[in-house]
Amino acid sequence: MAEFVTACPRNCYSTCSFRVQVENNRIIRILPYSGNLATPEGPCIKGLSYIERTNSPERIIHPLIKTSTGKFEEISSNEAFDILSGKLNLIKEKWGSRSILWYRGSGMSGLTNEIGYSFWKAFGGTTITYGNLCWPAGLEAVRLTLGSVKHNVPWDLVNAKTIIIWGKNPAETNIQEIAFIAGAKEKGCRIIVIDPLRTATADKADMLFSPKPGTDGALALAVVKELIDNDLIDHEFIARHVKGFDELKQSLRISPDDAELITGIPSENIIELARIIGKSGPLTILPGYGLQRHKNGGQTIRSILLLSVLTGNIGKSGSGFNYANLQSYIFDNLREPLSYYPDPEKDIPFRRTISMAKLGSDMLSASDPELKAAWIERGNPVLQSPDTNNVIKAFSNLLFKVVVEQFMTDTAVMADIILPAKDMFEQSDIIGSYWSPYIQFKPKVIQSPGEVLPESEIYFHLSKKLNLKISNEIIPEPGNDNIEQWLEKKISGHPEIGLNRLIESPVLAPGLQQIAFEDLKFETPSGKIEIYSSEALVKWGISALPDYTAIIHTEEGKKYPLELITPNTGSRIHSQFGNLKIIKDTNTEPVVRISPVDANKRNIKTGQRIKVFNQNGGFISRVEISNRVPSGLVVIPNGIWFNEGGGANRLIAGEETDIGFGAVFHDYMVEIEEVD
Amino acid sequence: MRKGFIFNHNKCVNCNACNAACILENGWTVHPRNIFTFNSEAEHLFPIINLSLACNHCESAVCMEGCPASAYSRETVTGAILLDEMKCIGCRYCQWNCPYDAPKFNSENRTIAKCNLCYYGLIEGRQPACSSACPTGALKFGQLTETDSYMNYSWFPDKKLNPAIEFAGSDKNTPLKIIPEIIYEQIVPKPVIAGKNISNELSLIIFSFLSTLSVATVITCFIKGIFPDKMIFIPVILLAGMVSFFHLGRKLRSWRSVQNLKNSPLSREIAVLIVYAIASSATVFFHLPGFLVASSIIGLIFLLVIDSVYIYADYSRSVILHSGQTFVSALLIVSFFSGIVIPFVFIGSIKLLLSVYSLSVNKSNLADFGIRFLRIAFLVISGISMILNISNIYIFISSIFLIGELLDRIFFYIDFNPLNINTLIDEKLIIERDEKKRG
- B16 in contact with A, Cβ within 8 Å: yes
CB A591 within 8 A of CB A611: no
User: Any idea which of A162-171, A567-576, B69-78, B419-428 has the lowest mean pLDDT?
Assistant: B419-428
Q: pLDDT tens digit string along A428-451?
A: 999 999 999 999 999 999 999 999
Summarize pLDDT for A311-337 with one digit per residue, the tens: 999 999 999 999 999 999 999 888 899
B2-47 pLDDT per residue, tens: 999 999 999 999 999 999 999 999 999 999 999 999 998 888 888 8
Q: What is the pLDDT of residue B106?
A: 95
Residue type for position A116: G
Residue A106: pLDDT over 90: yes
Averaged over B326-350, what is the pLDDT?
94
Q: What is the pLDDT of residue B363?
A: 59
Contact A596 B186 (CB under 8 A): yes
**Do the chains contact at A41 and B13, CB–CB below 8 Å?**
no
Angle at A335 between CA A334 and CA A338, to 5 degrees: 80
- Cross-chain residue pair B10–A203, CB shorter than 8 Å: no
Least confident of A408-412, A462-466, B231-235: B231-235
pLDDT value of residue A315 = 98
pLDDT at B126: 94
Judged by CB atoms closer than 8 Å, whether chains meet at A627 and B43 is answered as: yes
Instruction: Note whether A463 and A529 are same-domain residues.
Output: no
Question: In this structure, are A114 and A202 located in the same domain?
Answer: no
- Identify all chain B residues contacting A625, using CB atoms and an 8 Å cutoff: 188
Q: What pLDDT is recorded for position B190? A: 54
Rounded CA-CA distance A55/B358 in Å is 57
| Each residue's pLDDT tens digit, A46-74 | 999 999 999 999 999 999 999 999 999 99
Whether the per-residue pLDDT at B259 is higher than 80: the answer is yes
Q: How far is B334 from chain A (nearest CA, A)?
A: 53
Angle at A387 between CA A384 and CA A389, to 5 degrees: 105
Report strand pairing: A373-377 vs A100-104.
Answer: parallel
Q: Give the CB-side neighbour count of residue A56, counting CA atoms within 13 A.
A: 20
Distance (Å, whole) CA A547 – CA A222: 11
Strands A242-243, A64-66: pairing kind: unpaired
The dihedral through the CA atoms of B146, B152, B153, B158 has a sign that is positive
Same domain assignment for residues A150 and A124: no
Angle at B143 between CA B141 and CA B146, to 5 degrees: 105
Asked if pLDDT for residue A500 goes beyond 80, the answer is yes
Please report, for residues A76, A172, A285, the alpha-carbon distance to residue A152 in angstroms, rounded to integers and kept in the order given: 49, 21, 11
Is it the case that residue B200 has pLDDT exceeding 90? no
Q: Tell me the pLDDT band of B357, cut-offs 50, 70 and 90.
A: confident
Residues A113 and A239 in one domain: no
Q: Each residue of A424-434: b (16+ CB within 10 Å) or e?
A: bbbbbbbbbbb
User: What is the model's pLDDT at position A493?
Assistant: 92
pLDDT at B362: 67
Q: With CB atoms and an 8 Å threshold, state whether B10 touches A186.
A: yes
Rounded-to-5 percentages of helix, strand, coil across chain A? 35, 20, 45
Contact between B180 and A31 using a beta-carbon 8 Å cutoff = no
Q: Is residue A76 domain-resident?
A: no
- Is the pLDDT score of B394 beyond 90? no
Residues 238-277 of A with CB under 8 A from B: 264-266, 269
Do B176 and A205 lie within an 8 Å CB cutoff?
yes
Q: Sketch the domain layout of chain B as residue ranges.
A: 3-181, 202-313
Chain A, window 618-637: residues with a beta carbon less than 8 angstroms from a chain B beta carbon = 625-628, 630-632
Percent of chain B surpassing pLDDT 90: 67
Q: Are strands B104-106 and A438-442 parallel, antiparallel or unpaired?
A: unpaired
Q: Which of B9, B35, B136 is the best substitution to test chain A (most A C-beta atoms within 10 A)?
A: B136
| Mean of all residue pLDDT scores within chain A | 96
Given a cut of 90, whether residue B76 has pLDDT beyond it is yes
Say yes or no for a CB contact (<8 Å) between B11 and A171: no
CB contact under 8 A, B185 and A597: yes
pLDDT tens digits for A329-362?
Answer: 999 888 899 999 999 888 999 999 999 999 999 9
Instruction: Name which residue leads in pLDDT, B173 or B211.
Output: B211
A77 found inside a domain: no
The answer to whether A208 contacts B24, with C-beta atoms less than 8 Å apart, is no
Question: End-to-end alpha-carbon separation of chain A, Å?
Answer: 55
Nearest to A178 among B44, B136, B174 (CB): B136
Number of domains in chain A: 4
Considering the domain architecture, whether residues A498 and A525 belong to the same structural domain is answered as no
- How many helices (DSSP H) and strands (DSSP E) are in chain A? 22, 27
pLDDT score at B173 = 65
Give the domain extent around A32.
Answer: 2-55
Q: Which of A179-183, A405-409, A492-496 has the lowest mean pLDDT?
A: A492-496
CATH number for the domain spanning A492: value is 3.40.50.740
Residue of A13, A20, A203 to mutate when probing chain B, most B C-beta within 10 A = A203
Give which of A163, A275, A161 is closest to A227, Cα–Cα.
A275
Give the dihedral of Cα atoms A254, A255, A260, A266; nearest 10 deg. Answer: 150
A176, A600, A630: residue with CB nearest B183: A630
Find, in chain B, the residue whose alpha carbon is nearest to that of A632: B183
Out of B8, B17, B178, name the one closest to residue A210 (CB): B178
Which of residues A8 and B225 earns the better pLDDT score?
A8
Of B436, B8, B82, B105, give the one whose Cα is nearest residue A178: B8
Cα(B398)–Cα(B415) distance, integer angstroms: 25
Q: Are A259 and A319 found together in one domain? A: yes
Considering the domain architecture, whether residues A418 and A288 belong to the same structural domain is answered as no
> Residue B183 and residue A202: Cβ atoms within 8 Å?
no
CA distances from B59 to B64, B128, B160 (A): 10, 19, 9
- Residue A441 has a CB neighbour count (10 Å cut-off) of 26
pLDDT band at B387 (very low <50, low <70, confident <90, very high): confident
Map residue A507 onto helix, strand or coil. Answer: strand
Given this model, what pLDDT does residue B192 score? 52
* Contact criterion met (CB below 8 Å) for B320 and B312: no
Given pLDDT bands bounded at 50, 70 and 90, which one contains residue B436?
A: confident
| Banded model confidence at residue B196, pLDDT cuts 50, 70, 90 | low
Lowest mean pLDDT among A24-38, A579-593, B93-107: A579-593
A219 interaction partners in chain B (CB closer than 8 Å)? none
Give the pLDDT confidence score for residue B175 in this predicted structure: 78
**Given phi > 0 = left and psi -120 to 50 = alpha, else beta, which region is A13?**
alpha
3-class secondary structure, B89:
coil
Same domain assignment for residues A479 and A535? no
- Architecture of the domain whose range is B3-181: 2-Layer Sandwich (3.30)
Say what angle helices B326-338 and B289-313 make with each other, to 10 degrees: 140
Per the domain annotation, does A35 fall within a domain? yes
pLDDT tens figures, A447-484 = 999 999 999 999 999 999 999 999 999 999 999 999 99
Find the mean pLDDT for residues B176-183: 80
Residue B191 predicted with pLDDT over 60:
no
Counting Cα atoms < 13 Å in the Cβ hemisphere of B191 gives 20
**Is B44 within 8 Å of A627 when comparing Cβ atoms?**
yes
Looking at the fold, whether A561 and A521 belong to one and the same domain comes out as no
- Taking contacts as CB-CB distances below 8 angstroms, the residues of chain A near B25 are 29
Whole-number Å distance between alpha carbons of A202 and A191:
9
pLDDT of the residue at A67: 96
Residue in A45, A51, A198 nearest the CB of B16: A45
Rounded distance between C-alpha atoms, residue A516 and residue A506, angstroms: 20
DSSP state of B254: G
Distance from CA of A422 to the nearest CA of B (A): 22
The span from the CA of A64 to the CA of A146, in Å, is: 48
Report which residue type is found at A55: N
A104-to-A101, A113, A263, B72, B112 alpha-carbon distances in Å: 10, 9, 37, 55, 49
Judged against a pLDDT cut of 80, whether residue B171 lies above it is answered with no
- Position A387 pLDDT exceeds 70: yes
Arithmetic mean of pLDDT, A204-232: 97
pLDDT given at position A226: 98
Residues B108-165: pLDDT tens digits?
A: 999 999 999 999 999 999 999 999 999 999 999 999 998 788 877 888 999 999 999 9
Nearest CA in chain B to A605: B188
* Distance of alpha carbon A611 from alpha carbon A620, whole angstroms: 4
CATH number of the domain residue A315 falls in: 3.40.228.10
| pLDDT tops 80 at residue B391 | no
Residue B364 CA, chain-centre distance (Å), reads 19
- Tally: H helices and E strands in chain B: 15, 10
Whether B18 contacts B33, CB under 8 Å? yes
Q: Mark whether A355 and A411 lie in a shared domain.
A: yes
The CA distance from B156 to B158, in Å, is 6
- Pick B345 or B44 by higher pLDDT: B345
User: What mean pLDDT do residues B212-236 have?
Assistant: 92
A206·B47 Cβ contact <8 A = no
Kindly state whether B191 is in contact with chain A, defined as any CB-CB distance less than 8 angstroms. Answer: no
Chain-centroid distance, C-alpha A492: 29
B 31-50: CB under 8 A from A: 31, 41-44, 47-48, 50
Residue of B nearest to A599 (CA): B188
**Region A577-605 average pLDDT:** 91
My answer on whether A293 and A412 are in the same domain is no
- pLDDT beyond 90 at B174: no
- Judged by CB atoms closer than 8 Å, whether chains meet at A586 and B136 is answered as no
CA distance A668 to chain B (A): 20
CB A577 within 8 A of CB A637: no
Q: How many residues does chain A have?
A: 676
Do B180 and A171 make contact, defined as CB atoms within 8 angstroms? no
Tell me, what amino acid is at B181?
A: E
Q: Is residue A519 part of a domain?
A: yes
pLDDT at A179: 97
Chain B residues 43-82 with CB within 8 Å of chain A: 43-44, 47-48, 50
Report the candidate in A628, A621, A622, A560 with the shortest Cα–Cα distance to residue A597. A628
Whether residue A492 is found in the same domain as residue A408: yes
pTM value? Answer: 0.95
| pLDDT at residue B364 in the model | 65
* Residues A44, B15: C-beta atoms closer than 8 Å: yes
